[in-house]
Amino acid sequence: MHAGLAYVLRGYPDLVLVGSARDSPTALDAMLDASLDVLVVNTACRSIDVVQLMHRAVHHSDAGVSRMLLLTNDPDTPLYPEADKLGAGGVILACEAPEFLVSAIRLVAGGYRVGVPHKSEANRATPRRPSVRNSALDLLTLRERQVLTLLARGMRNAEIAGELVVSESTVKTHVQNLLIKLGLRNRASAVAVAYESGITRAQWSG
């Protein structure tokens, strides 16, 4: 995974891969490193007990587990409710597009949670992925579609404001409006929808 992640991240100068951990103790040490923004964990790695790692991270550091981004090959993984309960930064499928992984890393680094179901759904074994009809996407204004596209790139409100030459409060309003129109709870769900709908590949101007 280290080589694959390094290949993906080399095209993003703001993201730096500082090392790799091949077992639970090394991963925990990385988790406790205050200089580390995100710990990407491949749940298929048999030498790392992911559940134990999350529990130990909670015990040793309040913020530790919130910086964990778990990659899984199983869309029905039972890790979802455990990760939600413990406050992990996110759980996403390892087969997602590289751009989605990069956005997920940026969101977790920014304090957001990605791909983890709402607490009311934590007892469900199968996660419910965001689902939005094309008709709902059609309700978005051009500016809201622009904001959604930039959200999917992992940009923060201030960065979106700079890109679109508007105020940060205006960006916040657009984000709130598009979430309401799409029936979504948070930015992470909006990013998932942006990739699933193909809106991130759309060209826009304005």
CATH for 79: 3.40.50.2300
72 and 18, same domain (yes or no) = yes
- State the burial class of residue 46 (Cβ atoms within 10 Å of its Cβ: 0-12, 13-18, 19+): exposed
The residue among 11 and 167 whose pLDDT is bigger is: 167
Residue 161 has what pLDDT? 94
Q: What is the mean pLDDT of residues 147-168?
A: 91
Q: CB–CB of 56/86 below 8 Å?
A: no
Residue 68's nearest CA partner among 97, 94, 104, 44 is 104
Domain residues for the domain of 146 are 134-201
Question: Where among 121, 156, 185 does a domain terminate?
Answer: 121
Q: Which residue has the tokens 């409060």?
A: 169
80 and 151, same domain (yes or no) = no
Cα 25 to chain center, whole Å? 25
Query: In angstroms, rounded to a whole number, what is the distance separating the alpha carbons of residues 73 and 95?
Result: 7
pLDDT level of residue 164 (50, 70, 90 thresholds): very high
pTM for the whole thing? 0.61
pLDDT level of residue 158 (50, 70, 90 thresholds): very high
pLDDT level of residue 167 (50, 70, 90 thresholds): very high
93 and 162, same domain (yes or no) = no
Please report, for the domain that includes residue 187, its CATH number.
1.10.10.10
Question: Where among 121, 150, 181 does a domain terminate?
Answer: 121
Could you tell me if residue 127 is inside a domain?
A: no
Q: Does residue 205 have a pLDDT over 50?
A: no
117 and 166, same domain (yes or no) = no
Could you tell me if residue 206 is inside a domain?
A: no
97 and 175, same domain (yes or no) = no
Domain count, the chain: 2
pLDDT per position as a tens digit, 104-128: 888 788 777 776 544 434 333 333 4
Which amino acid makes up residue 72?
T
35 and 114, same domain (yes or no) = yes
Could you tell me if residue 176 is inside a domain?
A: yes
pLDDT level of residue 130 (50, 70, 90 thresholds): very low
pLDDT per position as a tens digit, 8-58: 788 778 788 888 888 888 888 877 777 788 889 988 888 888 998 898 888
Q: CB–CB of 114/89 below 8 Å?
A: yes
Query: In angstroms, rounded to a whole number, what is the distance separating the alpha carbons of residues 87 and 81?
Result: 10
- State the burial class of residue 180 (Cβ atoms within 10 Å of its Cβ: 0-12, 13-18, 19+): exposed
114 and 44, same domain (yes or no) = yes
